[in-house]
A and B are shown apart, each in its own frame.
Chain A
Amino acid sequence: MIAALLLLPLFGGLAAFLLPSDRWRPLLLPVCGLAHLILTFFVIQDGQTVSLPLAGNWIAVDPFSRLILLIVSLLFCGCSIYALGYLRYRIAWGNRIFVSCLLLFLSAMSLAAVARHLGLLWVAVEATTVASAPLIYYNRNRLSIEATWKYLILCSVGIALAMLGILFVAYAALAGGAQVSLQFDDILQGAAHYSTPWLRAGFVFLLVGFGTKAGFAPLHTWKPDAYGEAPGLVGALLAGGLTSVAFLALLRTLQIMDAAGDGAMAREAFLAMGLVSLGFAAVFVIRQPDFKRLLAYSSVEHMGILAIGVAIGGVAAFGAMLHLMNNALTKGVLFLSAGNIHRRFASKRVGEVQGAITLVPVSASLFLLGFLAITGSPPFAPFISEFTILRGIFSGGHYLTGALFLFFLAVIFIGMGSTVLSVVFGTPLERKGDTNYRETLMTTGTPLVLLLIILFLGLSLPEPARKLFAEAAALLEVKP
């Protein structure tokens, strides 16, 4: 079952490359996306930790994997249906590379979610970089080249640092006289005997390496460029899928540190990264003239919130797991609706895009509601998760952190709000908005459904979902 999960998009990607017709090729996306989602549900249903017999114990599904798989698969499935409408609109532009890379990207993300070997995890995360670089480049203009190059170099070097961190972890085993293996269960078992200096050095490199990929400030510099220049659906997959996968790698790192009895130091580092990310996001969100870059800073902010939630632990860790899902789906709503507005106006500058609600009413409303959701307004699910994290912070006695957290969130709400409101309301400038894009169900349906999901999750958390988040959070409990 897991093998099918990985191979289906892989072969789909190859098939897309070989298929000659630009008109029919995009159909592979929803086919693979839906099949992947169904397979994911089966894998999640299995409950217990399952492993793949063929690949030894390198591939297995644990609660983190289940959560990440569900997030990635749900988001991809939605984006694949949106992609049909998007690619029909841009049929003359060609889509061979785009469709193949999307599917390979899905395969790499799924592999990263189920990897149970640090080396394999690394290979999968690096594969997500190379598979997604051509996606950012889709528009083939100067700006998208620049964004692609920055993304490639920064993420590749970041990931190389993570490899160094992995080697340091292996060296910690060697120096501590434990079994030298990068299989994750072996590491967790032997971590107590690892040499502390090497393990800490390894942790720092892993944090910086995978942190670059997740986009923590100040390692986030590729994010605004890539999210700004990539098509909306790629932005959604990067902000919701890729960053979640990178965050999974960071969670694995934290698990190792916990097993080695050094979790406190790791949590402090997470907390610091989280607060710095919130601070950076708050500074750059204000007066941001480009509404897609705005979303990138919002993504930096939410990585920060996740890191803080995980660092505080307890209730906040549960909140962080819930927030991982909420952030991904809400980013889907925002990027897809922002993509629609961008296409209607052929611009993403705030001064040039005004009164979107009169020209693209559905997308503009979704964009507005998505903004309210992501900034933590009830009744949407991010409100529940952010509130849970906040409750964890205050009940843990971290009053300063809590105050800073609230302050930055308020600043970001105001900063984002002024940009979003001026995009949505007002009267459109003359001669703007005379592009041939019109809203169709294909391009508004997906963000609408994603918004309904987070609304539903915000109103009532069904028991199976609660169990999924609680099991994932339980992996972060420090065992005495």
Chain B
Amino acid sequence: MDNYNPANLLLLLVILFNFFLLGSSRLGACIRTVAIQGGILSLLPLFLHGFTGHALILAGGAFLLKGLAIPFLLLRAIRQVHIKREMEPLLGYVPTLLLGTLATAGAFIFSDRLPLIEAHRGSLFIPVGLATLATGFLMLITRRKAITQALGYLIFENGVFIFGMLLAEAMPLMVEAGVLLDLLVAVFVMGIVMHQINREFSTMNTGQLSSLRE
């Protein structure tokens, strides 16, 4: 287990950022936090697999996209539409934080019972991955702003990324690059749609998006 230590520290940081994201109403801070979280995650392949070519390229690519390009797109989007805060979440910040805590605790308990292989037993990757997935889901469900929903999606993707770290040999570099590229384009398109939502509705609340129903 000892060789996992620096990675474990990073993973604990990821959990702390999860809590911050669930509790914060300032959009700029949230975007930067997701950026830092993405940046931290991009270091994981180096600690896990050493400085191999694959790990270096993966880390570099993930850092560029998750840490820089995507947050840049989102920050530009909120600058264009002049909003700073998530005003009215569907569920308050304290209840979501509580739910997040429960989900994180649940993730740790649950991953103890999973039929993991010997090398991964007790590792932090799986509980932290699950907890991050849960955080992303909570953001997606409880927030109304289009941008916080997009952030929820990104956090969710981060959770998938953590889990994927354990299986780096299954994912060839080309596919990994394709995954990251798809993510970038998806956020780019989301940014454009957000801009249009704001122009049409003069708000970015997705609660306004309710004309289409049965």
Interface residues in chain A, defined as those with a beta carbon under 8 Å from any beta carbon in chain B: 117, 119-120, 122-123, 126-127, 129-130, 133-134, 137, 140-143, 145-150, 152-153, 156-157, 160, 163-164, 167, 170-171, 173-175, 180-182, 195, 197-198, 224-225, 228-229, 284
**B12 within 8 Å of A (CB atoms):** no
**B193 within 8 Å of A (CB atoms):** yes
A222 shortest CB reach to chain B, Å: 10
**B209 within 8 Å of A (CB atoms):** yes
Stretch from B13-21, B41-49, B89-97, B156-164 that touches the partner: B156-164
A120-B178, A180-B167, A181-B170 as given contacts; A175 in contact with B115, CB under 8 Å? yes
A123-B175, A149-B146, A167-B163 as given contacts; A130 in contact with B212, CB under 8 Å? no
In the complex, which of the residues A133, A146, A157, A225 has the most CB atoms of chain B within 10 Å of its own CB atom? A146
Q: Once the chains are docked, how many angstroms separate the CA of A198 from the CA of B114?
A: 9
The residues of A that contact B197 with a CB separation of less than 8 Å are 145, 149
**B40 within 8 Å of A (CB atoms):** no
The residues of B that contact A173 with a CB separation of less than 8 Å are 170
**What 7 A-B pairs have minimum CB-CB distances, sorted nearest first?**
A119-B175, A123-B178, A170-B170, A146-B209, A126-B182, A225-B212, A170-B167
Partner of B115, one of A117, A137, A198: A198
Structural contact, A160 and B178, CB atoms closer than 8 A? no
26 A/B residue pairs, CB under 8 Å, sorted by A: A117-B172, A119-B178, A119-B179, A120-B178, A122-B179, A123-B181, A127-B182, A127-B185, A130-B189, A133-B189, A133-B193, A134-B189, A145-B193, A145-B200, A145-B209, A153-B149, A157-B140, A163-B160, A164-B160, A167-B167, A171-B167, A175-B115, A180-B170, A181-B170, A182-B175, A224-B214
A142-B201, A175-B116 as given contacts; A229 in contact with B212, CB under 8 Å? yes
A305 shortest CB reach to chain B, Å: 22
A120-B178, A163-B160 as given contacts; A147 in contact with B212, CB under 8 Å? yes
Structural contact, A156 and B212, CB atoms closer than 8 A? no
The residues of A that contact B167 with a CB separation of less than 8 Å are 167, 170-171, 174, 180
**B133 within 8 Å of A (CB atoms):** yes
Report B131-169 CB contacts with A as 1/0, cut-off 8 Å: 001000000100000100110010011001001101101
A142-B200, A171-B167, A180-B170 as given contacts; A160 in contact with B206, CB under 8 Å? no
The residues of A that contact B169 with a CB separation of less than 8 Å are 180
Structural contact, B140 and A153, CB atoms closer than 8 A? yes
A120-B175, A174-B117, A195-B115 as given contacts; A148 in contact with B193, CB under 8 Å? yes
The residues of A that contact B157 with a CB separation of less than 8 Å are 160
B128 shortest CB reach to chain A, Å: 14
Chain A at the B interface: SS class: helix
Q: Once the chains are docked, how many angstroms separate the CA of A163 from the CA of B209?
A: 28
A123-B179, A182-B171 as given contacts; A130 in contact with B186, CB under 8 Å? yes
Contacts A127-B185, A149-B209 supplied; 15 other A-B pairs, CB < 8 Å: A119-B176, A123-B182, A133-B189, A140-B196, A152-B186, A153-B140, A153-B150, A157-B153, A164-B163, A167-B160, A167-B170, A174-B117, A182-B170, A182-B171, A224-B214
**B211 within 8 Å of A (CB atoms):** yes
Structural contact, A156 and B175, CB atoms closer than 8 A? no
Complex: chain A residue closest to B172, CB-CB: A119
Complex: chain A residue closest to B165, CB-CB: A167
The residues of A that contact B186 with a CB separation of less than 8 Å are 126, 129-130, 152, 156
The residues of B that contact A284 with a CB separation of less than 8 Å are 214
The residues of B that contact A198 with a CB separation of less than 8 Å are 115
Structural contact, B133 and A164, CB atoms closer than 8 A? yes
Q: Once the chains are docked, how many angstroms separate the CA of A274 from the CA of B181?
A: 33
Structural contact, B170 and A146, CB atoms closer than 8 A? no
A327 shortest CB reach to chain B, Å: 23
The residues of A that contact B172 with a CB separation of less than 8 Å are 117, 119
A446 shortest CB reach to chain B, Å: 27
Q: Once the chains are docked, how many angstroms separate the CA of A142 from the CA of B199?
A: 10
The residues of A that contact B115 with a CB separation of less than 8 Å are 175, 195, 197-198
Interface residues of B in 104-123 (CB under 8 A from A): 115-117
Q: Once the chains are docked, how many angstroms separate the CA of A284 from the CA of B117?
A: 47
Structural contact, A146 and B212, CB atoms closer than 8 A? yes
The residues of B that contact A229 with a CB separation of less than 8 Å are 212
Q: Once the chains are docked, how many angstroms separate the CA of A173 from the CA of B166?
A: 12
Q: Once the chains are docked, how many angstroms separate the CA of A136 from the CA of B185?
A: 16
Q: Once the chains are docked, how many angstroms separate the CA of A113 from the CA of B67?
A: 33
Q: Once the chains are docked, how many angstroms separate the CA of A28 from the CA of B150?
A: 34
Report B176-210 CB contacts with A as 1/0, cut-off 8 Å: 10110110011001100100110011000010011
Complex: chain A residue closest to B133, CB-CB: A164
B152 shortest CB reach to chain A, Å: 8
The residues of B that contact A181 with a CB separation of less than 8 Å are 170
B112 shortest CB reach to chain A, Å: 15
Partner of A152, one of B117, B163, B189: B189
The residues of A that contact B174 with a CB separation of less than 8 Å are 120
Complex: chain B residue closest to A124, CB-CB: B178
A217 shortest CB reach to chain B, Å: 13
Structural contact, A130 and B182, CB atoms closer than 8 A? yes
Partner of B212, one of A120, A134, A224: A224
Q: Once the chains are docked, how many angstroms separate the CA of A130 from the CA of B182?
A: 8
Q: Once the chains are docked, how many angstroms separate the CA of A85 from the CA of B93?
A: 52
Complex: chain A residue closest to B179, CB-CB: A123
Q: Once the chains are docked, how many angstroms separate the CA of A410 from the CA of B201?
A: 42
Complex: chain B residue closest to A181, CB-CB: B170
Q: Once the chains are docked, how many angstroms separate the CA of A167 from the CA of B159?
A: 12
The residues of B that contact A180 with a CB separation of less than 8 Å are 167, 169-170
Structural contact, A160 and B179, CB atoms closer than 8 A? no
A103 shortest CB reach to chain B, Å: 15
Q: Once the chains are docked, how many angstroms separate the CA of A60 from the CA of B88?
A: 50
Q: Once the chains are docked, how many angstroms separate the CA of A160 from the CA of B158?
A: 10
The residues of A that contact B170 with a CB separation of less than 8 Å are 119, 167, 170, 173-174, 180-182
Q: Once the chains are docked, how many angstroms separate the CA of A163 from the CA of B185?
A: 17
Structural contact, A142 and B189, CB atoms closer than 8 A? no
